[in-house]
Chain A
């Protein structure tokens, strides 16, 4: 029972992240690789804002004892500020692989600084100590708290879904897709390309930061081994399975992929002498899943609604094929 609560909580947190990432990749068509950095920064900041002063030899910035929800909010503002800088550089006139490489570079630089510069978040040791924030105030047992936390995560996910679903069908959502399909045509119809993409990017980053804040309390310790940038590929695999550009599909995809893989790795042999075996095999399977989905079913289980159904025309089979316009020039 506790096991399932843990699995559902984790999947719920990553579903929030995936909804944010899907706005950027699914709707606006920008393949971003920095998003796991936003989740990580959200986690780190939530921690340094709540766990109190560092005890030497550990060292990190701030060390405040803010209430947990306020800490998430403050952390998220910082995450959006970072995304505003990266987005301003990367989105203005870089597209496709240039955009992807730039965001990968940004997250690699962030990772390096966090790992090497210990006064920031205690380098490779990372932070710990955010254990069940508010447990005593709510007067709950450990297990009871975990159940309440799961419900909170699911409620936040539901609210996020409703907002994102509404945005998806709003003029803003349609504009982003128009920009994705043909940037020049959208610009010709008077759409501000950069600000459309930029707003989606910031909104997505805000969701990633929120997921990071929740993740901090879920695992209660955070260090660089928890967020190698390649972890983001799992989220992309989940979006591909569920259906890129379709919020409901994205959530289903995350739950299917996470629960599927967590369940699968439980039954894998895990020799004590080779602790890296099971995680490595899991990564191999995720890579395979990405390639096979792209090759044979790029639209996912729940394809994006193109709106073309209303005029009785079959929707385009592969939304990926139409995206993007070209490089900067």
Chain B
């Protein structure tokens, strides 16, 4: 069997989780014009919620996933109401530092509740399956299928519903959207809930594929998430999905041919190259204007 294609397959599983996380980050950016550095903690909250569901309430894998999504939604809504809206109209970097503070708070509250030691689910990865040229575990397949489903639903939501139209309007110009009769405040709030749900599920999927995790799970994943967003074009959901696909596969392939302990460092190298050469994303012609950050 071709090892290269097997690695691509692993990359697809990585990319699926990355895509969910990155699209949530991009949605937050799109409606609030801020880089949310507490984004990783939404993933961590999802992962721990699923862990609680499993360990304390003996939920099935579906029940654990639902709990992750619910916790993520709640965390997203709270983060927007308690922090982001309070800093509305302030300088980008000010809000950024505030979210960094929030990240510190959430990580350490989780550490106080669950302890510093790593925890793990007891679902197991399942057996190996040959699917075409790829070799996937059961959980890989579950992750890829659910990510595709979610991406499809997200497309329908953004493109074909009133809510999606409102998100796109608010992300282009909040004041103008407000004037046109769109309840911008509510749309922003709901978008944060949606982003929280996506991030919560991504956190659950990430924790399940990694096996063990601690309070730093999401923060460690944030850099890769941002790399995917920058690769696609920050603030644009579909481009971000493409960016996540490229970054996920690239990082897995490079990691497989060298020492995979440095995977994060490769992600960073990729980020620097992208920022220096294509700061507006891979899928934008040079003439187009970037979204200002």
0/1 per residue, A275-314, Cβ < 8 Å to B?
Answer: 0110011011011111100110010000000000000000
How far is it, in angstroms, between the C-alpha of A135 and the C-alpha of B292 when the chains are bound? Answer: 56
Q: Check B97 against A105 for contact (C-beta < 8 Å).
A: no
Which of A101, A274, A281, A298 meets B271, CB within 8 Å? A101
Q: For window 14-52 of chain A, which residues contact chain B by CB distance below 8 Å?
A: 31
**Which residues of A are at the interface with B, using a C-beta cutoff of 8 A?**
31, 89, 94, 96-98, 100-102, 104-106, 108-109, 112-113, 116, 230, 233, 236, 274, 276-277, 280-281, 283-284, 286-291, 294-295, 298, 320-324, 326-329
Which residue, B83, B101, B290, has most C-beta atoms of chain A within 10 A?
B101
How far is it, in angstroms, between the C-alpha of A101 and the C-alpha of B99 when the chains are bound? Answer: 13
How far is it, in angstroms, between the C-alpha of A294 and the C-alpha of B100 when the chains are bound? Answer: 12
Q: Check A105 against B223 for contact (C-beta < 8 Å).
A: yes
Residues of A within 8 A of B269 (CB): 109
Q: How large is the interface on B (under 10, 10 to 19, 20 to 34, 35 or more residues)?
A: 35 or more
Q: Check A328 against B279 for contact (C-beta < 8 Å).
A: yes
Is residue B91 within 8 Å, beta carbon to beta carbon, of the partner chain?
yes
Is residue B188 within 8 Å, beta carbon to beta carbon, of the partner chain?
no
How far is it, in angstroms, between the C-alpha of A112 and the C-alpha of B98 when the chains are bound? Answer: 26
Which of B105, B108, B226, B290 meets A101, CB within 8 Å? B226
The A-B contact count (CB < 8 A) is 133
Is residue B283 within 8 Å, beta carbon to beta carbon, of the partner chain?
no
Q: For window 76-134 of chain B, which residues contact chain A by CB distance below 8 Å?
A: 83, 86-87, 90-94, 96-98, 100-105, 107-109, 111-112, 115-116
Q: Check B105 against A323 for contact (C-beta < 8 Å).
A: no
Asked, given contacts A283-B107, A295-B86, whether A290 binds B97 with beta carbons under 8 Å apart, the answer is yes
Is residue B179 within 8 Å, beta carbon to beta carbon, of the partner chain?
no
Which residue, A294, A298, A324, A328, has most C-beta atoms of chain B within 10 A?
A294
How far is it, in angstroms, between the C-alpha of A283 and the C-alpha of B219 when the chains are bound? Answer: 15
Which of B100, B103, B112, B293 meets A98, CB within 8 Å? B293
Asked, given contacts A112-B264, A276-B116, whether A96 binds B94 with beta carbons under 8 Å apart, the answer is no
30 contacts between A and B (CB under 8 A): A31-B96, A97-B35, A97-B92, A97-B93, A97-B293, A104-B223, A105-B271, A105-B272, A106-B268, A108-B264, A108-B265, A109-B268, A276-B116, A280-B109, A283-B104, A283-B105, A284-B105, A284-B109, A286-B101, A286-B104, A287-B102, A287-B103, A287-B104, A288-B105, A290-B97, A294-B101, A320-B93, A320-B94, A323-B93, A329-B290
